[in-house]
Structure formats: structure tokens, C-alpha cells
Structure 1
Amino acid sequence: MNITIDALLTGTVRPLGDSGRDSGIDKHPVAERLWLGPEGLSGDEQADRRFHGGPEKALHHYARDHYPAWLDALGERPVLRGPGAFGENISTSGVTESDVCVGDIYRVGTAVVQVSQARQPCWKLDHRFGHRGMAARVQASGMTGWYYRVLQTGWLATGDALSLQDRPHPQWTLARVQDILNRRVLDPGVLHALANLSELSPNWRTLFEKRARAGEVEDWTRRLEGDAAATPPKESQA
């Protein structure tokens, strides 16, 4: 599997719409090649390092293949006119969550990266799109994008190909893992299998372990809605 990077994107921390918060979600294409270090691309910033960035979320990949579906669902939105709508660092066509598995290892440019987890969208997408409920909608759709950890640092550029080097867990596509997450599955066998999947990010392994132990699904309200009840995003149609 060889997939070409259509756009390599970075962003700086700046105010996020009418949220009253700062965010680095506003990413823009970069023409020059960039250094990929253990925690991400040079020049890329995240406002809240508790939940964004770091070794397990060094690089965010989003499939441009999903943009037509979002345009159909939401109508014309300025944010969907080019790559970067979802805060992605890598934009490609031809591969989605159904094609990518936990633990996949890719060589890209002079770097080597490994799929660590799917994205769990947060309330910032509501403000990014000016559409209340956007984060929950993205999660339910499974069209979330995914993250890589960096196994070997190196240079990346638009036009570089992601070349699959190893697939240790072909049974664990990101689409399947997200289906288990989103259907609020409580099957102990399935949850323990994911909790013991060493290539899955520690946060996700802990999530599935806690779900198995507690026999209940975690509360997503704060992550998906944030302060939306107090400060709803302004609807944006153009």
C-alpha cells in the first residue's frame, strides 16, 4: 500500500472562533519539507497538551475521501474548501479508517511512523465548523482520522508516499475499533483483547480496561460538548 501525501499541514495556537479558548486546530498546507520529531512536525502547535499532541498523537492523518460526505451533510462551508478542516497534519486520498489497522507501520519521507489510535473528536470541532453537535457527529460517523507515533524521526514533504512496512494486527482495523467504542460494547472478551493490544495507545488501552472492569461506558459529555451549553457556537452556512 502506497499513499501519496496531498498536503502537509501545520498550525499555530490562536483564538478558536467564539469559544473564548485558544487552539491549534487551524492547520494550513506547507510547501517546504518539515522535520518530524518524536512529538510532531516542526512549526506545529497545540494549545492544550493534556489532550493534544505528544508522542502518541505526534501526527494526525485525515482522509480527504470524507470531505464530499461532509459537504453533502453540512452544505457549503468555508472550512471544507481545502484540506485542514479537521486539524489534520496529513491529507491523502485513497485510504480511510476501514483500510488502516492499529499498529500499522509506514515509511514516509525519511521517517517511520506507526498507527497508535483513531481520533476521539472534541467540542472544538463544533466551533471550528460553527455547528453544534459536530464533534458527536464526527465520532458517530467513524470518519475521525487517526494518529501516528514516531518510530524514526525524519523529513516529510507533500508528495511523499506512505509505504506500508508491517501490519501486525490486520483484524483490528480502526473502523472496527471505533465501532466497538461507539456502540458502547461491554463484551469483556473484546474489551480485554483491546486493553492488551500493545500497539494501541496507552490511553485507549486504559479506556477499554476500565470499561471492562466497570461494566459501563464512560461519560463523553465533557469531551464532546465542552462549554457548549453555556456558549453555543454560531451557526455558519457560508
Structure 2
Amino acid sequence: MKILATNIGQRKEIDWKGKKVTTGIFKYPVKEPIFLDVEDVKGDAICNREKHGGIDQAVYAFSEKHYDYFKKMYPDLDWELGMFGENLTLSDLEESEIHVGDTYKVGETLLEVTKPRQPCMKLGVRFNDMSVVKEFWNTTMSGVYFKVLQTGFVKTGDVFEKVVSKPENPTIAEVYTMKRKKKLG
């Protein structure tokens, strides 16, 4: 896995069907390295600390390969990396091969896999279509949250080097499928 883009978002207020929504999901690639801290990415807006950020969700990564699946459903969107609210767009993240507890050295950091992302209505706001939330749930292309074990900078081009493998733990895809079954019944 390699970082194709580092993405940062600012706090943004959106009028969504007559309701004010505050979000940080509108993330865009930046050229400079970004600092991965213990509970978040420095300079990146987190507007709902109950659901985003924190030790087990400090950094969110999503695979660039997953973009093609959603582009077919939403061809008229202005597609840019960071579209899914990810801090790191990776070249080939595969949720069915990454296990909870796997640890990677990337840039100056050490990152541990914690959980899949569960989509919320703000993904629908970003896509201007709430049906994307259900479509996201109907895949295993959830992306991955990381805990930051060693803080530091990462940049575009940095490669993920696995330093701890936890094959005895469930994969991110397995965890996501279990969560989907509980959520959707």
C-alpha cells in the first residue's frame, strides 16, 4: 500500500434540505506532509467527536481502487481524492486482507488497524445523495481506521510496511459485515 493523497478538510456548514449540517467530510488533497497525532490529523476538522477522531479512529484511510465502483453510480460528481472523507487515499487497501491489530510503519509513524468505517448521513451530504450510505453498507469497501502508536508526518508516496501481522484476528471486511448485519438486521 502506498499513499496516493493526503487529505485535509475544514469545518463546513451545509444547508441540507432545510437543515444546517456541520461537517468536516469535505476533504481535499494537500501537497505538504500531514501530521498524524494520537487522536486526529493536525489541521483536519472533526465536527463530531462522538463519532469521529479519538484514539481508535485517529486516521481514516480509503482505497483509490474503490473509487471506480462508486464512480459508475455517480458519474456526474466532481471526483477528487478525499471524496470519502479519508485522510489517506491508498493505492490498494484491501479490507479482506487487513486484520484488526495489524501494524504498519509509514513515514515517521506507526499505525495499528482498529476498525472499519461505518457510513453516516454526512457521506450522503458529500455525495448530495443519501442512497450512497446504503450502497456503501452493501459492500465491504469500508476503508480502515488506524490508531497512531507513534506520531509523525506522512506524505504522498510513503509506503506502508507491515511490522506486526495479526492473522488470528478478524479482517476489516469480516468486522464490517458483522456490523452491517447488526445495523441492517
Same fold (TM over 0.5): yes
Counterpart Cα distance in 2 of 1:44 and 1:65? 24
Q: Partner of 2:61: helix, strand, or coil?
A: strand
Give the structure 2 partner of residue 190 of structure 1.
Answer: none
Alpha-carbon spacing, 1:95–1:170, altered in 2? closer, same or farther (3 Å): farther
Give the structure 2 partner of residue 236 of structure 1.
Answer: none
1:60, distance to aligned residue in structure 2 (A)? 0.3
Question: Is 1:61 matched with 2:65?
Answer: no
Contact 2:4 2:156 in 1 (8 A): yes
Q: Which amino acid aligns with 1:112?
A: L
Give the structure 1 partner of residue 94 of structure 2.
Answer: 96
Alpha-carbon spacing, 1:127–1:17, altered in 2? closer, same or farther (3 Å): farther
Measured against aligned partners, the alpha-carbon deviations of 1:94-145 in whole angstroms (never above 9, x if no partner) come to: 2221221111100010110101100011011111111122212211212121
More displaced 10-residue stretch of structure 1: 11-20 or 156-165: 11-20
Q: Partner of 2:89: helix, strand, or coil?
A: strand
Question: Is 1:49 matched with 2:49?
Answer: yes
Q: Which amino acid aligns with 2:116?
A: A
Unaligned runs of 5+ in 2: none
- The structure where strand makes up a greater share of residues is 2
Give the structure 1 partner of residue 39 of structure 2.
Answer: 39
Contact 2:117 2:145 in 1 (8 A): yes
Counterpart Cα distance in 2 of 1:170 and 1:95? 19
Cα RMSD of the aligned pairs, angstroms, is 1.7
- Structure number with greater Rg is 1
Q: Which amino acid aligns with 2:7?
A: L
Q: Partner of 2:112: helix, strand, or coil?
A: strand
- The structure where helix makes up a greater share of residues is 1
Aligned residue-pair number: 183
Q: Partner of 1:21: helix, strand, or coil?
A: strand
1:171, distance to aligned residue in structure 2 (A)? 5.0
Greater relative contact order (Cα < 8 A, sep 6+): 2
Counterpart Cα distance in 2 of 1:145 and 1:17? 27
Give the structure 1 partner of residue 28 of structure 2.
Answer: 28
Question: Is 1:144 matched with 2:137?
Answer: no
Alignment of 1:4-23 (within 5 A): 4-16=2-14, 18=16, 19-23=19-23
TM-score by length of 2: 0.92
Contact 2:62 2:93 in 1 (8 A): no
Alpha-carbon spacing, 1:87–1:71, altered in 2? closer, same or farther (3 Å): same
Q: Partner of 2:53: helix, strand, or coil?
A: coil
Counterpart Cα distance in 1 of 2:22 and 2:129? 18
